[in-house]
Structure 1
């Protein structure tokens, strides 16, 4: 949960988070619940135990979990409709779910390419499309699309993933321009190397972490909470005149301007 800031305008907001039951997503669900928001999240794995944990932690504000594969577009859009039936039109959308499975260019097949784009880019667009009408009717809303600094660094090891991340930035800019007149703000958030349990289990080594921290201006590892606070800010009226932007939360690895 957020231990730093309280954004009072998020209380009562209808929030939809993809991949909200594990990793950064679970921290986001927790953070929005602490703000008093009504949260629905989707994921492929059962999250009943996590929902019970959140209900104990935030009495009277249990999150709604809908089991869904976001690559199944009709089912995914139906889950958003179900969330709106329970909590009202989605006024905050957080496209967080992603898959950064490592792969080389030579081993990529057309099927793998399409699957990676479906998870990491296509689902983002159709989630945005699904919430626009409700946000417009509500007088506005906020969308936060998770990207990554990996494409900005020119990282190797997952070209399908970095391609999607770059696409998210372009998508964010175009939609922010299109729906700004409806008071719908759309921004991208690009985390650095956040030490989730998945990252620790699969890829973090003492040598690799030390090398990455050397690239950071701030010499501390990123934790999920660092991403939660930035997301809450971009979702609240504290950032009411910020749209079409990409915010890197990475300890100072990449720079813009």
Structure 2
């Protein structure tokens, strides 16, 4: 059960990576509010959309594609607006935190990491502005991470992009505030998605991370839904240019 925000009923929502991981829970959460949801993803999401339709009585609009293909990304956003009306909530969620060391990074890998984790975010923000302005405002929510705040090693291209997202969020909030377009970031801690469990979670690593959290509970994908709904809704209408940290208290404890 999520908090209810009546102003999100009927809202046109676009989510990158909304068919898996945290994004799937976000799609579910917005549908539960009565919002009209479109999302882009690389993998077939037909089964997921079937499940959402059975659960909510409304089917999310799945748009197949890779967010690094900027012209395609923009076309899918146009398709979402045509189907659901001007996008008034944009959630830049898709990312890739592939592990790597500095010495093994090539120019191609660097360009790919920035394309996935930063460039697509910028151009999605750029493309949604006109429609939000015409609609009288909107909310953009950019997923970043506490990884750059902690100075984590093991994925420097990713943490660089995360830091860039925070700077971009602040600048766009200033630029588009007069149009009543709010731009905020959400910085999760270590959220235990299926991908994280399959690829990187170890008992020792998880125990060490939980030891750094003030709240001694694992973070699940659904823990990110209420914070995103809050940032999307009028409940946060006076907030912009902020980074909302949802990490169980890691950044507080150092």
DSSP 3-state at the match of 2:62: strand
Task: Identify the residue that residue 127 of structure 2 maps to in structure 1.
Answer: 130
What secondary structure is seen at the aligned counterpart in 2 of 1:247?
A: strand
Which of 90, 95, 112 pairs up with 1:93? 90
What's the secondary structure of 2:251's corresponding residue? Answer: coil
- Post-superposition CA distance 1:89-109 (Å, at most 9, x none): 000000000000000100100
1:211 aligns with 2:208: yes
* Secondary structure at 1:168 match in 2: helix
Q: Deviations over 1:51-86 (max 9, x none)?
A: 001000011x10000001110110110110011010
Following superposition, the deviation at residue 206 of structure 1 comes to: 1.1
Matched, 1:186 2:168: no
CA distance in 1, matches of 2:78, 2:63: 11
Q: Counterparts of 1:221-232 in structure 2 under 5 Å?
A: 221-232=218-229
Contact 2:2 2:29 in 1 (8 A): no
**Which sections of structure 1, spanning at least 5 residues, go unmatched?**
none
- 1:7 is aligned, of 5, 8, 11, to 5
Aligned to 1:39: 37
Q: Distance in 1 between matches of 2:38 and 2:86?
A: 11
Task: Give CA deviations for 1:214-233 in whole Å, capped at 9, x if unaligned.
Answer: 00000000011111110000
Deviation at residue 205 of structure 1 after TM alignment: 1.1
Q: 8 Å contact 2:100–2:155 — kept in the other structure?
A: yes
Q: CA RMSD in A?
A: 0.8
The separation in 2 between residues aligned to 1:4 and 1:18, in whole angstroms, is 21
> In the alignment, which of 239, 242, 247 is matched to residue 239 of structure 2?
242
What is the aligned counterpart of 2:136 among 108, 128, 139?
139
Alignment of 1:39-78 (within 5 A): 39-59=37-57, 61-78=58-75
Cα displacement (A) at 1:167 = 0.1
Aligned to 1:29: 27
Question: How big is the shift at 1:255?
Answer: 3.4
How big is the shift at 1:4? 3.2
Checking the alignment, whether the CA contact within 8 Å between 2:144 and 2:165 is kept in structure 1 is yes
TM-score calculated relative to the size of structure 1: 0.97
